[in-house]
Amino acid sequence: MKERNILRQDSILDQIIGIYLITGEPVGSRILAKKQTVALSPASIRNIMSDLEDQGLLCQPHTSAGRIPSASALKQYVSRLLEKRQEQNKFSGSSFVPSFDDREDLMEYVSYLLGNRTRQTSFIAFPQLQRKRQEKKLFYSCQSHILNHPEFSNLEIVRKIFMALDDREEFLQKIEKWSWGLNVYIGSENLIEGLEECSVISSTYENSEGAKGYLGVIGPQRMDYENVINEVKFGAETLSRTLNKEGKNV
C-alpha cells in the first residue's frame, strides 16, 4: 500500500512538472483528472497534492487553486533526467565550430550561439594569461532574453539579476567553487546573490593545457531542462575538442 502511494505521488508530481514546464501556469486537480494516465478522482488527486505540498515539493502561488513545483521538486526532476540521459548516452547536437584566429572571438561566438539555441542568457568564463598570471575572463551573451520570460516580469527581480551579472568578479569567484563537469543549480543553490529566482546550468571544458573554463546559461526556474542541458553539455564537449585539436590555450 505504501509503495503504491509513493508511485502515485511520483506520477502526479511528474505530470505537474511536465505541464508547468510547458505552460508556466499552476496545475489543478481537475486538469490532472482529465489526463488518461491518472485513474484517480479529483478529490484523491487533491489529497496527493496536499501531501506533496507538505513534503515541500509543491507550492501555491498567490491565491491560485493550482500548484507549481518547488525548487526541490525541479531538482529531483533534473536528477532523474540526468540519470536517464547518461544511461542512454543521449547528449547530442551540431558540432560545427568555425575557426577563429582570435581567442576572444571564438569565446564570444560560442557564448552567442549557446544563448540563441537555448533562448537564455549565456556565459563563458575562460582562462587567460595576464602579466604571467593566469586569470579568467567572462563573457555574457543574449542578456535581453531575460526580459522575454514571464517569470521575470517583476522589475525588482530583473534589477537584481542584472546587478548580479554586472558584478563579474563575484560571479567568477562563485563559479570557481562549482564542481567539475555538468552542474544544474536551481534557485539559491547557485550561491550568487541576485540569482535566487534563476536556474543556472553550466559545464566545464578544458583547453590544450588542461586549464578549466566554464560554459553555461542563466534563466528562469521554469525552462526546458532537457534541451538546455543537452546544449550546454554538448557545447562544452565540442569546445574542448576544438581547443585541443587546434592547440589553443583558451
pLDDT score of 64: 67
Residue type, 250: V
**Residue 103 pLDDT level (bands cut at 50, 70, 90):** confident
pLDDT score of 194: 96
What's the whole-model pTM score?
Answer: 0.86
* Mean pLDDT across 100-125: 89
Chain region(s) in the chain for CATH 1.10.10.10: 2-69
Q: Which range has the worst mean pLDDT, 57-66, 144-153, 240-249?
A: 240-249
Query: Shortest CA distance to 70 belongs to which of 157, 189, 201?
Result: 189
pLDDT exceeds 70 at position 167: yes
Task: Write the CATH number of the domain with boundaries 2-69.
Answer: 1.10.10.10
* Mean pLDDT across 96-108: 76
Say which residue the cell 574542448 belongs to. Answer: 240
Pairing of strands 212-220, 198-206: antiparallel
Segment 204-237, tens digit of pLDDT: 998 777 778 999 999 999 999 999 999 999 889 8
pLDDT score of 83: 85
Residue 183's φ and ψ, nearest 5 degrees, are: -130, 135
User: Which helix (H) or strand (E) segment is 184 a member of?
Assistant: strand 182-186
C-alpha 86/C-alpha 121 separation (Å) is: 25
Task: Write the CATH number of the domain with boundaries 103-246.
Answer: 3.30.450.40
**Residue 130 pLDDT level (bands cut at 50, 70, 90):** confident
C-alpha 123/C-alpha 36 separation (Å) is: 41
Q: For residue 153, what are the contacts with CB-CB under 8 A and spacing of at least 6?
A: none
Chain region(s) in the chain for CATH 3.30.450.40: 103-246
Give the CB-side neighbour count of residue 111, counting CA atoms within 13 A: 23
Determine what percent of the chain falls in helix, strand and coil, rounding each to the nearest 5: 50, 20, 30
Q: For residue 141, what are the contacts with CB-CB under 8 A and spacing of at least 6?
A: 108, 111, 112, 114, 115, 121, 122, 123
pLDDT score of 36: 58
- Which carries the bigger pLDDT value, residue 129 or residue 199? 199
pLDDT score of 2: 61
Instruction: Please report, rounded to a whole number, the percentage of residues in the chain having pLDDT higher than 90.
Output: 53
pLDDT exceeds 60 at position 89: no
Say which residue the cell 569567484 belongs to. Answer: 173
Segment 59-79, tens digit of pLDDT: 988 766 789 999 999 999 999
* Mean pLDDT across 134-163: 94
